[in-house]
Amino acid sequence: TEALRMVSVRKAYGHPEGEVTALDRVSLSLPAGSFTAVMGPSGSGKSTLIECAAGLDTPDTGVVVVDGAQVAGRGEEELAKFRRQRIGSIFQQFDLVETETVLANVTLPLRTAGKRVDTSYAEHIATQAGLGGRLHHLLAELSDSERQRVAIARALVANPSVIFGDEPTGGLDPDSARNVLELLSHSVRQFGQSVVLATHDPVAASYADSVVFMADGKLAGCLHQPTPAAVAE
């Protein structure tokens, strides 16, 4: 199966000055087990693409298939369930619980989905994300960078088929950024998960095996990187 298939996806937003076409009949296919970066200028539609793919936004027309299953056209409850089972999301709006610990936040999707919580695995992933000394701290005690890494660890712990991220390295210092990118590409290589990131960050893009370029709501090109820079180094 494919990680993501989009067929003629269109999404427009109403603006006082007229309608803006954020996605203009976008079609693409990303194989399972791939790491893809979506790049392009500000306003080119990257976030809208990722949000539609992750089921956080609904296209006006077109088809979105994630891990072999249609995303659009599901009821809200069924979509939420599908997202919990198959999709990991790393978005700017982290939706973390301030009054809970790092570990509790990281395992929250598992608990919500009624899945077994493997605490030592959750600790392992959170530690890999650079939160080893913070596992039992409340979110309210964390820096923005640490919050972001909690969101990343949370997306990984649920073991989703596909992880979607919007600028996941945006607020991170270079070392933390490399750290989480390593973590994401490790999931791809080791567990066959798929990662799709909207990003401006050339370092993040260097971890991808292909880069999809957006311009004015359209796909403007695709670049396959045979050797990820991270491996070549």
CB of 75 to ligand ADP, least distance (A): 22
Picking from 28, 33, 16, the residue whose alpha carbon sits closest to that of residue 163 is 33
- Shortest gap between Cβ of 42 and ligand ADP (angstroms)? 4
Tell me if 199 contacts ligand ADP by CB under 6 A. Answer: no
**In this structure, what are the phi and psi dihedrals at residue 82, rounded to the nearest 5 degrees?**
-60, -45
Candidate ranges 37-45, 100-108, 154-162, 187-195; the one touching ligand ADP (CB under 6 A): 37-45
Site map for ligand ADP, 152-191, x if CB under 6 A? ----------------------------------------
Pick 110 or 125: Cβ nearer ligand ADP: 125
Could you say whether residue 141 binds ligand ADP (CB under 6 A)?
A: yes
Measured from the CB atom, the residue of 145 and 225 that comes closer to ligand ADP is 145
The site for ligand ADP, by CB under 6 A, has a size of 17
- Residues 149 and 157: their CA atoms lie apart, in Å, by 12
Cβ of residue 178: shortest distance to ligand ADP, in angstroms? 14
The span from the first CA to the last CA of the chain, in angstroms, equals 31
User: Contacting ligand ADP (CB under 6 A), which of 58, 145, 210, 225?
Assistant: 145
C-alpha 24: how far from chain center: 21
Binding mask 73-112 for ligand ADP (x = CB under 6 A): ----------------------------------------
Examine residue 46 and tell whether it contacts ligand ADP (CB under 6 A): yes
